[in-house]
Amino acid sequence: MSVYDSDIAPVAALLADRGRAAMLTALLDGRPLAAGELARVAGVSAQTASAHLARLLDGGLVTVVKQGRHRYYRLSGADVAQVVEALSRISPPLEARSLNQSRDARRLHTARSCYDHLAGVAGVALFASLMDGGLIEGDGVYEVTAKGDERLGLVGLDVAELRKGRRKFAGHCLDWTERRPHLNGALGAALLARMIELGWFERGRTRRALEITRQGRGGLADVFGCVL
């Protein structure tokens, strides 16, 4: 089936509602959220949130993770995250109506998760350093060089093992705020997860925001030549 045979109207209709759009944007954090949390994010009642989530489930945009008697929702995959990010790039920004909202916007601009990989100023800078330093190479689809394999090994990543997965190994997203590429795919996800484990980044109080630690600034510079 070609792209011209795809019926995009049902998916577009799901994204057109502000409540559902707010829920999907919140799930760009990559972590599953309960229906009550998503209701608060969307500013709707629990009953309305349940109706929205049922439609998103039917449309294949979210999935359910069950833990005991509790149900948590997450995006169904990286493709959905990329669609939401792409819409963010062509949509008008939300106007900050308070000092807290302005601070949140700055935090997201500096460093944030884009589903499960690093975005914002930090993500764009890291991608540029990987390319300029000869650690990865390619155009849209990327491979790790011998030098990159050695550097990624320093932070505990097994590149050969990552290549065995079904997920695309390494590509890029056009960053929502920076309009420049950041790394995605299995490599981007594994790299962010490892940097959080190493304490280079910490989850911020603002949803999706990541805070760069002093250790992280040093590690990024020493290992990848990325100065933030």
**C-alpha span between 40 and 211 (Å, rounded):** 24
Both tokens of residue 170? 């390494």
Q: What span, in angstroms and rounded, lies between the C-alpha atoms of 118 and 123?
A: 5
What DSSP string runs through 52-121?
Answer: HHHHHHHTTSEEEEEETTEEEEEES-HHHHHHHHHHHHHSPPPPP-SHHHHHHHHHHHHSEEETTEEEHH
pLDDT of residue 179: 86
Q: How many CB atoms lie within 10 A of CB 10?
A: 11
For the structural domain made of 3-76, what CATH number should be given?
1.10.10.10
Angle at which helix 35-42 crosses helix 18-26, to 10 degrees, equals 120
| Structure confidence at residue 95 (pLDDT) | 62
Pairwise CA distance, residues 212 & 23, whole Å: 26
- Domain regions of the chain by residue span: 3-76, 99-224
Q: What is the pTM of this model?
A: 0.75
pLDDT 10s digit of each residue in the chain, 228 long? 455 567 888 888 999 999 999 999 889 888 889 999 999 989 999 999 999 999 999 999 999 988 888 899 999 988 898 888 888 877 776 665 655 656 766 778 899 988 889 999 999 999 999 999 999 999 999 999 999 999 999 999 999 999 998 889 999 988 888 889 999 999 999 999 999 999 999 987 777 889 999 999 999 999 999 998
pLDDT of the residue at 58: 94
User: Please, are residues 73 and 27 in contact by the beta-carbon 8 Å criterion?
Assistant: yes
The residue type of 119 is: A
For residue 16, which of 114, 78, 76, 84 has the smallest C-alpha distance?
Answer: 84
Spatial CA neighbour of 221 closest among 200, 202, 205: 200
Q: Are 182 and 192 in contact (CB under 8 A)?
A: no
